[in-house]
Structure 1
Amino acid sequence: MKGTKGEILDFLNNWGKDTMAKTIEIKFTDVDLDKETLTATMPVQPKVHQPFGILHGGASCVLAETLGSCLSNIFIDGDLYYGVGTNINSNHLRSKKAGMVTGTARFIRKGKTMHVSEIEIRDEKGELINHTTMTNNILKK
């Protein structure tokens, strides 16, 4: 995707009206075009809890997959290609009841037909809540 940091964040935050990311209030907050990273936040509130009142692992996976997929799609030529997730491996390391989590995605490998990314989700204190790796296939339109 071409554009400035602000243009990319504006696009991502307004992409898709009734999507899962909007439902759980994921907000993209930073993209580093040089380091090729993407960051987003998600509030931890009852709608992302599991029955024990803590952050649902599936919500963490949604944040991670949203970041990993968007990371791939903003660093390819979107006129010719699109990236789709094919594998996700997520480790839930700490529980979280309330507040905000921040996820940052970075490439482990960025090939022409496959991207592998790492996503770290941390709380306000910097504690690692979740570590995810994700694979995207890069397909021709």
Structure 2
Amino acid sequence: MYTQGKTKEEILKFINNWGEETFAKTLDIQFIDVDLDNETLTATMPVTPKIHQPFGIMHGGASCVLAETMGSSLSNIFIDGNKYFGVGTNINSNHLRSKKDGIVTAVARFIRKGKTMHVSEIEIRDEKGQLINHTTMTNNIISK
């Protein structure tokens, strides 16, 4: 997808309906905002028992899935999807606080946006704004 000429609503509709059965849909990830000027993407994910580890808190893998979904989506909506696609090649995720229930909100932004590589930062916060997870992710931008 390429954002040029698209409205925020068109972009959100596209990425919320991207693919039939995806990991993002399995975890009920919902994209809620894209800021075209600042090149950020925001999504929410409910914290329910289906994403808990045995101790009753959100599994770190669920945070990683949310973060990778955010970083990959951010790259792919800001490149020309007719010519390129972005694929994750590295993820570094720090789990900073536990979460038992409610909703988490993730915001992804570019640290570096080059022609062949994007590095993004993803912050996952709870309803109080407390940082639950901080992730950096690298995507390679590959010609189709």
Question: Could you state the TM-score of these two structures normalised by the residue count of structure 2?
Answer: 0.97
Structure 2: tracts of 5 or more residues without a match: none
2:8 to 5, 8, 26: 5
1:36 to 39, 47, 50: 39
- Tell me the CA shift for residue 67 of structure 1: 0.4
One-letter amino acid matched to 1:140 = S
Q: In structure 2, what is the Cα distance between the partners aligned to 1:16 and 1:128?
A: 29
Q: What does 1:4-83 correspond to in 2, within 5 Å?
A: 4-83=7-86
Residue 133 in 1 paired to residue 136 in 2? Answer: yes
> SS state of the match for residue 78, structure 1?
coil
1:16-73 CA distance string (max 9 Å, x none): 1111100010000000000000000000000110000000000000000000000000
Q: In structure 1, what is the Cα distance between the partners aligned to 2:7 and 2:53?
A: 38
Structure 1: tracts of 5 or more residues without a match: none
Residue 116 in 1 paired to residue 119 in 2? Answer: yes
Misfit runs of 4+, over 6 Å: none
Give the root-mean-square deviation of aligned CA atoms.
0.4
Q: In structure 2, what is the Cα distance between the partners aligned to 1:139 and 1:37?
A: 21
Question: Could you state the TM-score of these two structures normalised by the residue count of structure 1?
Answer: 0.99
Q: How many matched pairs?
A: 141
Q: Percent identity?
A: 79
Q: In structure 1, what is the Cα distance between the partners aligned to 2:18 and 2:53?
A: 27
